[in-house]
Structure 1
Amino acid sequence: MGKSMVYDLIGVGIGPFNLGLAALLDTCKGIETLFFDKEEGFNWHPGMLIEQSDLQVPFIADLVTFADPTSKYSFLNYVHKQDRMYQFYFFRRFDIPRREYNLYARWVAEQLSHCHFGKEVIDVTEDEHSGENVYRVTVRDTGSGERQSYFSRHIVLGTGSVPFIPEKLKGDGNFVVHTSEYLPHAKDIKDSRSVVVVGSGQSAAEVFYELLEDQKHHDYTLTWYTRAATISQLEMAKLGQEVFSPDYVRYFHGLDYKQRKEALKRLDTVRNGVDKETLVRIYDLLYNRSVEGRDKKITIQPLTEVEEIKGNGSEMELTCLQWEKQERFTRKAEKVVLATGYKPHIPGWIWDKKEDLVWESDKEFMVDECFRLVWKEDRYHHIFVSTNLEHSHGTAATNLSLAVMRNQMIINEIAKEEIYPITKDAVFQQFMPDVEI
């Protein structure tokens, strides 16, 4: 790594989004890049790598295929290199285990010399280098604590998200666990006498199923509370899924802010919900358990909001509201697993620039069509973002398959040429009437 040279791009964070960008850039001659991540190596949601849990998108939505199916960093090439092609062929499924996706991405990361782990970006400031206005990126080695500075024309913010836990649900950390930390705590959870799972999405369903399956080996009661009116299946109709396309992202970005926020509500059925296969497995297991009588140690209750969690000796006390009937009640549990989702992780150095940026709300910065932050004064050097994008590009923008499209656009913008052509008219639907000429 050259500390005195000016790089074309520095990526902050190496999750799937920036890792895909690094993989596509690996074959781009003449573009100098670095990527930094504070973790010791790639590990995607390790707390939720539950056996039999699948990725919610097909394997073709890997790090590179939508941009370059011939890339050596494709999932199919990974399977080939692991000598698993025949097993995958006879697997006969489009979706893949989440654990396998994690191993695939780790395999890619280990081949990319411009990806550096154990390096935390602690600051990004404007600076001048050799007469050029650039960004100075300050990086701290997480082992030695040593700090070094690097210079770059452009930045790509890929810091992902962090667990979201409402303040009143934090309770005692010994008793309350977010799904992101589920696996390290699974043994303690299963050794308890009572477990409550809170949430309505895929993570909640996967944790509930895993606990339901193992319940026969333990002695805990198992409860699932969800605020949603129903435990619903993710909308997987083929035409409905076309909102996860470059065409819809372009259409969505063209709406004004209020229209975009309203559209997100209408897209809830394709954004949130549980995979059909997971719901089938849960129901089949419940049915088999009920053959000799309904299990009184299992409770599934929608329409229920957990308002507060408080410590009470060796147990937690949950204050709950059945919101349709407006009836409050309390429930005690030794362990609580929160599937309350995630929120964008926006580093402090972005907030330091708040006065220079255009914001659409207190927490939502304006992002242009090419995924660049919008400054009050135009500038040549940009900060591209892959987080906090729902308000600007829709839920599809954070889908793994469309992350590739975003990376294509970023590379083309930096190179000032179309290295990776962007697909247009990719779906059968159109979202605006044809303009007559």
Structure 2
Amino acid sequence: MSENRAFDLIGIGVGPFNLGLAALVDNVSSISSIFFDKEEAFNWHPGMLIEQSDLQVPFLADLVSFADPTNKYSFLNYVHNQNRLFQFFFYRRFDIPRREYNLYAKWVSENLENCHFQSEVISVEYTGNGYSVKVKRTDTGDVSTYHAKHIVVGTGSIPFIPDGIEKNEQVVHTSEYLHKEKEMKASDSIVVVGSGQSAAEVFYELLEEQKHNKYSLKWYTRSSIFSQLESAKLGQEVFSPDYVQYFHGLSYEKRKEALNRLDTVRNGVDKETLVKIYDLLYNRSVEGRDEKITIQPLTEVKEINESNGVLEVSCKQWEKEADFKVKADYVVLATGYKPHIPQWVWDKKEELVWESEKEFKVDEMYRLVWKEPRSHQMYISTNLEHSHGTAATNLSLAVMRNQTIINDVAKREIYPIQKDTIFQQFMPNT
């Protein structure tokens, strides 16, 4: 690790967002940087790297290409480096396997000298002329102190577990699915809960494997239908710098209303996944309906209790207000994620401006807004949907966010951000 413990920028967390920032800033000689993550190495949702599951955005939404297509850390350079460029060419698809995206990001992290793993940030304190950052090595326990002019918080998200439900060895979030799949497939009954892409991928994988096993398979969601993700090209333009700028300029109330309206582009299942599920169900039904398969919307899972190794799942069909219970050996929760905000951010709650009880104010440059203005910024890429819209978690727009942060730190335009990039407009010309 560098002997120079003073940096222009310190990144906390090395997920895809901060990894992209680390890759882009690596080319900027005027900005010194270092990034810390407590994990042993980069690994993106390892519990959901199911074979044949694809990234929901095209490969161009890699870590750097929207800012700099010639960057050596582009996905195309990765497949070239792996001697797979011709294979990728003949693959003739815009989307790529999630497992390949994970390996690509691992390759980037291993080639960047400014990314350090097994390094947990335990405190961040404002000193008046920057930030004092304490970092603990998870392998040795050693604690070091670093100084940063600016901080960028990229601590990502953690699994969301609904109220009334507790995780245990038999109640598994999708983030841990692959770690438990062998035990599940050897059981007699599995329930999948949720309606999004992760739920559909787990259900399809279990549906395929059901013919080799004896388990019954149930899929419940409280959504009224198993809906398809909006993929119309004009509809997708909300994932653009132009819309992000428009969205951020709305009042807090209007932004929250807009998020509700944009649900069809935020949540749902890819058309291809739904088609594969239906086709498999249809083929299975040729010789009669399979009584060991249940698919039911309009159903909320209220509580899960365990007794003698068997789970009792309490449900409610909310439209008919009908309560019922089912038995299961395993329940897979495809209930999504919630922002992971470090405790040292919550400890500074009284110093920050908040838009709601859990949503801090973030300016257009992705800076936390302090009651007492600072020239040394704390940028953030977590908990941004209320401020920057549904695109806050989109991989391609993470690149634009990183461009914005680098330009703001440098006080000049290192990476120009393109505007007027789409065919529609959101305000009349004046």
Taking the aligned partners of 1:3 and 1:147, their CA distance within structure 2 comes to 14
Taking the aligned partners of 2:165 and 2:224, their CA distance within structure 1 comes to 20
Q: Give the deviation of 1:4 after TM superposition.
A: 5.5
The 8 Å contact of residues 175 and 334 in structure 1, kept in 2 or not, is answered as: yes
Q: Partner residue of 1:84?
A: 84
Q: Partner residue of 2:290?
A: 295
**Aligned amino acid, residue 405 of structure 1:** M
Is 1:135 aligned with 2:131? yes
Name structure 2 gaps, 5 residues minimum: none
Q: Counterparts in 2 of 1:91-102, with a 5 A limit?
A: 91-102=91-102
Q: Give the deviation of 1:6 after TM superposition.
A: 2.3
Q: Give the deviation of 1:3 after TM superposition.
A: 5.5
CA RMSD in angstroms, aligned pairs only: 0.9
Q: What is the total number of aligned residue pairs between the two structures?
A: 430
Is 1:320 aligned with 2:315? yes
The 8 Å contact of residues 192 and 219 in structure 1, kept in 2 or not, is answered as: yes
Q: Counterparts in 2 of 1:19-58, with a 5 A limit?
A: 19-58=19-58
Q: Give the deviation of 1:60 after TM superposition.
A: 0.3
The 8 Å contact of residues 137 and 149 in structure 1, kept in 2 or not, is answered as: yes
The 8 Å contact of residues 164 and 303 in structure 2, kept in 1 or not, is answered as: yes
Is 1:214 aligned with 2:209? yes
Taking the aligned partners of 1:170 and 1:209, their CA distance within structure 2 comes to 25
Name structure 1 gaps, 5 residues minimum: none
Is 1:369 aligned with 2:364? yes
Q: Partner residue of 2:190?
A: 195
Q: Partner residue of 2:237?
A: 242
Q: Partner residue of 2:174?
A: 179
Taking the aligned partners of 1:230 and 1:92, their CA distance within structure 2 comes to 32
* Partner of residue 390 from structure 2, selected from 365, 387, 395: 395
Is 1:147 aligned with 2:177? no
The 8 Å contact of residues 196 and 267 in structure 2, kept in 1 or not, is answered as: yes
Q: What secondary structure does 2:146 align onto?
A: strand
Q: TM-score, normalised by structure 2?
A: 0.99
Q: Partner residue of 2:158?
A: 162
The 8 Å contact of residues 202 and 273 in structure 1, kept in 2 or not, is answered as: yes
Taking the aligned partners of 2:2 and 2:127, their CA distance within structure 1 comes to 17
Q: What secondary structure does 2:192 align onto?
A: strand
The 8 Å contact of residues 5 and 145 in structure 2, kept in 1 or not, is answered as: no
The 8 Å contact of residues 221 and 297 in structure 1, kept in 2 or not, is answered as: yes
Taking the aligned partners of 1:27 and 1:114, their CA distance within structure 2 comes to 11
Taking the aligned partners of 2:370 and 2:383, their CA distance within structure 1 comes to 16
User: Structure 1 290/93 Cα, relative in aligned 2: closer, same or farther at 3 Å?
Assistant: same
Identity in percent: 70
Taking the aligned partners of 1:351 and 1:4, their CA distance within structure 2 comes to 29
Q: What secondary structure does 2:319 align onto?
A: coil
Q: Give the deviation of 1:5 after TM superposition.
A: 4.2
Is 1:283 aligned with 2:278? yes
Q: Deviations for 1:56-114, whole angstroms, at most 9, x for unmatched residues? A: 00000000000000011000010111111111111111000000000000000001001
Q: Partner residue of 2:8?
A: 8
Q: Deviations for 1:157-198, whole angstroms, at most 9, x for unmatched residues? A: 000000000131215x02100000000000011111000000
Taking the aligned partners of 1:373 and 1:417, their CA distance within structure 2 comes to 20
The 8 Å contact of residues 316 and 324 in structure 2, kept in 1 or not, is answered as: yes
**Aligned amino acid, residue 429 of structure 1:** Q
**Aligned amino acid, residue 51 of structure 1:** E
Taking the aligned partners of 1:238 and 1:127, their CA distance within structure 2 comes to 48
Is 1:270 aligned with 2:230? no
Q: Deviations for 1:361-402, whole angstroms, at most 9, x for unmatched residues? A: 111000000000000011100000000000000111220000
The 8 Å contact of residues 189 and 215 in structure 2, kept in 1 or not, is answered as: yes
Q: Deviations for 1:116-138, whole angstroms, at most 9, x for unmatched residues? A: 0000001100126xxxx110000
Q: Partner residue of 2:329?
A: 334
Taking the aligned partners of 1:152 and 1:2, their CA distance within structure 2 comes to 14
